[in-house]
Every structure is written in C-alpha cells, then in structure tokens.
Amino acid sequence: MLDRSAPVFVAGHRGLVGSSVLRRLQVEGFSDLRTVGREDLDLRDQSAVDAWFDAERPRYVFLVAGTVGGIHANSTRPAEFLYDNLMIHGTVVQAAHRTSVDKLLYLGSSCIYPRLADQPITEEALLSGPLEPTNEGYALAKIAGIKLCETYRRQYGDDFISAMPTNLYGPGDNFDLEGGHVLPALMRRFHEASEAGDASVTVWGTGSARREFLHVDDLADACLFLMDHYSGAGHVNVGTGVDLTIRELAEAVRDLVHPSAELIFDTTKPDGMPRKVLDVSRLSDLGWTASTSLVDGLVDTYRWFLDAAERGELRL
Ligand code: GFB
C-alpha cells in the first residue's frame, strides 16, 4: 500500500487521465499531491525535469502525461506523437530513478499491440507482429516506455510498473472533432446536429471496426489499485473485456443525444485496427474489475459535456 501522506507527482494532471487520477487520489486521502503545468515545465526537457524532481522529491509518480489524440491526429502528426512521448517517458523515468522514487506507474495504450493480434488481446501479444499504421509512432513510443520500466527494474531494481488501458472516455475528454477520439467526437457531433436541427450525422469509416471503452474513473481506480497491490515486471491490461462496433457506439450516443438522427458513414476515413479488445484476466486475477457500464458512462460524460460547455471550459 502506498503511504497516503507521501509526496505524489501526477505527471499530466490536466489531461483526461491525469485529472481523474488526481480526483481519485484526493478522495483516497492523499495529502501531498504535486502537479506542474506545461507552461512551467516541459516534460521533454531532461534538465528541467531533473531540476523539478530535485526540488519536489516525489516518492510516488503517476506518469500519465503525453501527446495523445484520435486516429486522425495520430496519422497526420506521427512525428510529434513519437518524439514527444519518447522524450516525456524517458525524462520522467530517468529522473524518478535518479531521485530514488519508491514507485512509478507508467501508462501505455492498447495500440501497442499488433494490428492483427488474436482477440481478446493478452499481454503476451506485445511485439508479436506488425503495428497498426495509423498509430505506429504513438505505439512505438509507448512500447519504449514499457521497456524503460522493465529495464530500469531489471538493471537497477526500480519498482516501476506499467498499465495498458483500452480506449478511454469520460469527464475532461477532448471534444475536438478532428483531433479527438471517436466517443467525444460523436457526442459533440450529435449534440451540434440536435441544436442545429440537422437530420443526419456523419460517422467516420465503415462502422464495422470494434472497440472497447473504459470510463476514465475506472482507469484511475485501477491505477491506484495497481500502485497499492502490484509490483511485477510485466505490463497489465486495463479494460472491461467487452467490445462493440463503432456503429453500435454511434447508435448508443445517438439514442442519448439526438434520437431521431440518421447515421451516414464516411468510408473515405480509415477504420484503423479492425478490432481491439483486451484480455483482462491478469487484472481480474489480481482482484480488480471495471464497474461503470457504457450506458451509465455515456450519461455521465454527456452531463459533464453540457456543464462544461455552459461554463465555457470545453477542450475543443
Ligand atoms: O477513437 P479513435 O480515433 O481511436 O477511432 P483508435 C476509433 C474508431 O472510430 C475508428 C471511428 O474506426 C474510427 O474510424 N470513428 C468514427 C471516429 N467516427 C469518428 C470520429 O468522429 N472521430 C474519430 N476519432 N474516430 C486510437 C489511436 O486509435 O486509439 C491512438 O490512434 C490511441 O494511438 C487510441 O491508442 C486509444 O482506437 O482507432
């Protein structure tokens, strides 16, 4: 168990995951949470990160910072996704090692697995085949991050662990129509169509790709669970183990936001990986399972979207 009074660094605290981890740690009674905005610290800069760690001396680190985005952002900005993430992972892991951080959690992504991996995807599928081209840069950086944690553990004995979440969504998501992920993009598109009185909404791709969606508060709960109870070398999948087609997802969002809308599929847009659902038996054997249903999660996220829009706080 982590010491609730020790200093904890949440790297990336303004993002979807980081803000949820921060909320979870606050609820759990952690009394010394440390954060820093990107205007004050460029996590790609080793000497700046070193200086920050020397000054703040965190005992635990949740490394959930990174350049992230959906299929379009990944495929049009591969250099940024590769460079930013490689650097951020390297600087923080190295600084954590140098300052003898007690425990670090690194967050990967299910896109590290081969495009045609057997489904559901087990942890062993890593590096067993070619990657999905639309997010190769991001996936390579994430794989390097996993290997950093593994090698620092092997060479130096550092207690650095890795979690691999599936596709995430929830309060604090990025609702940018071009750069964001499918669920917030569809939610916003249906919302704007409803406001404008439009009868149809465009969905990218064929609608037949299959994805699994995990509420970000479940992920934050799993991250704390792993930090409290897991110290193994192997990365651990985090998901629900349940997937659906993009068409089914679009229908669920439509039913909630704009029930009369017709779906139009833009097949000039890529589907990406044909299917991506995680085998979560390693995590459930450890004692953790997700608790938020997709329907409840959609309602919660849409409520947050409406509130944030009213406050003018949406990330668009
Ligand atoms: O969420 P998404 O961009 O992530 O797309 P990936 C998932 C699927 O939804 C794809 C379809 O088949 C898209 O074609 N889709 C339909 C849409 N309408 C839309 C839309 O309006 N916006 C978006 N974005 N998609 C990402 C990776 O892949 O997954 C990242 O690029 C990251 O590296 C993330 O790992 C979890 O699952 O395809």
Q: What is the DSSP letter of 312?
A: T
Confidence of residue 39 (pLDDT cuts 50, 70, 90): very high
**Distance (Å, whole) CA 51 – CA 167:** 34
SS (H, E, C) 96-154: HHHCCCCEEEEECCHHHCCCCCCCCECHHHCCCCCCCHHHHHHHHHHHHHHHHHHHHHH
Confidence of residue 311 (pLDDT cuts 50, 70, 90): very high
Each residue's pLDDT tens digit, 108-139: 999 999 999 999 999 999 999 999 999 999 99
Q: Which residue's CA lies nearest to atom 14 of ligand 1?
A: 271
Select from 283, 305, 199, 295 the least CA-distant residue to 252: 295
pLDDT surpassing 90 at residue 292: yes
Say how many Å lie between the first and final Cα of the chain, rounded: 38
Instruction: State yes or no: is 138 an active-site residue.
Output: yes
The confidence score (pLDDT) of residue 88 equals 98
Q: Which of 113, 138, 152, 169 is catalytic?
A: 138
The confidence score (pLDDT) of residue 61 equals 99
Each residue's pLDDT tens digit, 146-204: 999 999 999 999 999 999 999 999 999 999 999 999 999 999 999 999 999 999 999 99
Cα(71) to ligand 1 centroid in Å equals 4
Confidence of residue 103 (pLDDT cuts 50, 70, 90): very high
Confidence of residue 314 (pLDDT cuts 50, 70, 90): confident
The length of the chain in residues reads 316
Determine whether the shortest distance from the Cβ of 254 to ligand 1 is under 6 A: no
Across all residues in the chain, what is the average pLDDT?
97
Cα(101) to ligand 1 centroid in Å equals 35
Question: 181, 211, 237: which to mutate for ligand 1, most atoms within 8 A of CB?
Answer: 181
**Distance (Å, whole) CA 12 – CA 34:** 11
Select from 23, 14, 16 the least CA-distant residue to 41: 14
* Residues 6+ away with beta carbon under 8 Å from 64: 10, 11, 12, 15, 17, 18, 21, 105, 107, 223
Q: Which residue's CA lies nearest to atom 6 of ligand 1?
A: 71
Select from 145, 127, 125 the least CA-distant residue to 81: 145
Confidence of residue 294 (pLDDT cuts 50, 70, 90): very high
Contact yes or no for 227/104 (Cβ under 8 A) = no
